[in-house]
Structure 1
Amino acid sequence: MPLSAIPSTPSAASLCPLCGQPNQCAMEAQRATGQEQAPCWCTQVTFSQSLLDSIPATGKHLACVCATCATKKEV
């Protein structure tokens, strides 16, 4: 099987710790690819403590919350 046919598995840092969907974090994309990215949307907002508290312990400090989850809760 050619390497290009093997599906790539996203890293845990690229998935939202709340819903498991891609978080589309520009900082993680830059880290993973080495290609400079525009500032991530998450650097321009303040997340509420209730949102941060809802992140499971296994996901804290490992990945960004996606914009969808962030807007479902108070930001």
Structure 2
Amino acid sequence: MSLFYVDKKAQENGDHEIHTASCTHSPGIKNCDPLGYHIACSTALDAAKAIYPQSNGCYYCSHSSYHSEDK
């Protein structure tokens, strides 16, 4: 189980990325909204989408919920 956060600032494509608390690519806790503890990044992504409908997983720490723009 990991602690997840969602970036308050959207990426250039409008996505708000979810990150684990230990992700080195996170913008920092001050710049994120907490999502709580989740067993899988998919449930953290669902929680993020309740706040920011256009959310995506981080390529580095939440890869199974990451969706490339190329798809």
Q: Greater relative contact order: 1 or 2 (C-alpha under 8 angstroms, separation 6 or more)?
A: 1
TM-score interval, smaller chain? under 0.3
What is the TM-score normalised by the length of structure 2? Answer: 0.25
